[in-house]
A and B are shown apart, each in its own frame.
Chain A
Amino acid sequence: MEAARKSREAASRSTGALSAELSDAKLVAACRGGDEGAWGTLVERFSRYVYAIAIQGFRLQEHDAEDVFQEVFARVFERLDTLREDEAVRPWIAQLTRRLCIDRLRAGSREVTADTEALPDAPDEDVLARIEEAFDVHDAMAGLPEHCRDILDRFFARDESYRAIGEALELPAGTIASRISRCLARLREEMTPEPRPESR
């Protein structure tokens, strides 16, 4: 992971799961300075995260998830100045998303039921924990060569077929499985902690 973090600063990413040219802290600082390109990168970096929390963690309907998604980024845009530690942007966005999802579920349940049923506001905590892990994995993908990021993202996250990937990347379909396998092995190396130096 440390290797991946270091490479984030240098990696140039035109495709892939999460754009990661800058650290979170630097990205937030650039956004605060009015850099609209940085804002676009911040949206790209966290868009999947917010979407996954709303859809998978809280099981919102698509139209509710869209409103939450837009509200989250509107509030982030308005309140970035209030963030005390720039590197804490991810937990801040997660907290904001969770709160807005709960508000949305409560508002929906008030409209539907007037009795004393339990509010359907309990998120699936296991799923939310796995979303955090998934974010770390996507983060680590920044340390991979672009062709690896692209093919892993297409196959696993975008659910594209071998045929679609082959056409998009101009690869023979027969080579795609082995390429995915090699890229997964590289990703596993990225995710493996470096051994600590032995103490004397």
Chain B
Amino acid sequence: MSAYDIERLSRLIGMLPPAPAAWVRAARELPRARRELDSIVVRAQADAEYRRALVADLESALRAEGVEPTSVLLDELRRRVS
């Protein structure tokens, strides 16, 4: 490894700022979000009325379960209930 001077170290530390907290929080919560998604899908399969409301507003359904509706989760939910 090459030698590191102080200035170079400073620049390199600065190259990795934190990602936005909400992004990190959504990624951290993926295991729980997946469980909630599964439960929403099961409920939609058993309840036609719920399924209709779900398809009409996927975002609200996820939010109601305390899940941040990221595009990844919305796409997956859309695919599984369509």
Contacts and interface: CB of A to CB of B under 8 A. Distances in A.
B26 interface: yes
Interface SS of chain A: helix, strand, loop or mixed?
A: helix
Most chain B Cβ neighbours within 10 Å, of A67, A74, A185: A74
Contacts of B16: 17-18, 48-49, 52, 131, 134-135, 138, 157
Interface string A148-163: 0000110011110000
A130 interface: yes
A17 B13 CA distance: 9
B23 A69 contact: yes
A46 B76 CA distance: 23
A130 B12 CA distance: 7
A69 B31 CA distance: 16
B24 A36 contact: no
A158 B19 CA distance: 10
Counting chain A residues whose Cβ lies within 8 A of the other chain, the interface size class is 35 or more
Contacts of B20: 51, 66
A137 B23 contact: no
B80 to A, nearest CB: 14
A58 interface: no
28 contacts: A36-B31, A40-B28, A43-B30, A44-B24, A44-B28, A47-B24, A47-B27, A48-B18, A51-B18, A51-B23, A52-B17, A67-B72, A70-B71, A70-B73, A71-B72, A74-B73, A77-B30, A77-B34, A130-B15, A131-B16, A141-B13, A152-B13, A156-B10, A156-B13, A184-B10, A187-B9, A191-B9, A192-B3
Interface of B: 1, 3-6, 9-10, 12-20, 23-24, 26-28, 30-32, 34, 70-73, 76
Please list the 8 inter-chain residue pairs (A to B) with the smallest Cβ-Cβ separation, ordered nearest first.
A51-B19, A134-B15, A156-B13, A73-B27, A48-B16, A134-B12, A156-B14, A137-B12
Interface of A: 1, 17-18, 36, 39-40, 43-44, 47-52, 56, 66-67, 69-71, 73-74, 77, 130-131, 133-138, 141, 152-153, 156-159, 181, 184-185, 187-188, 191-193
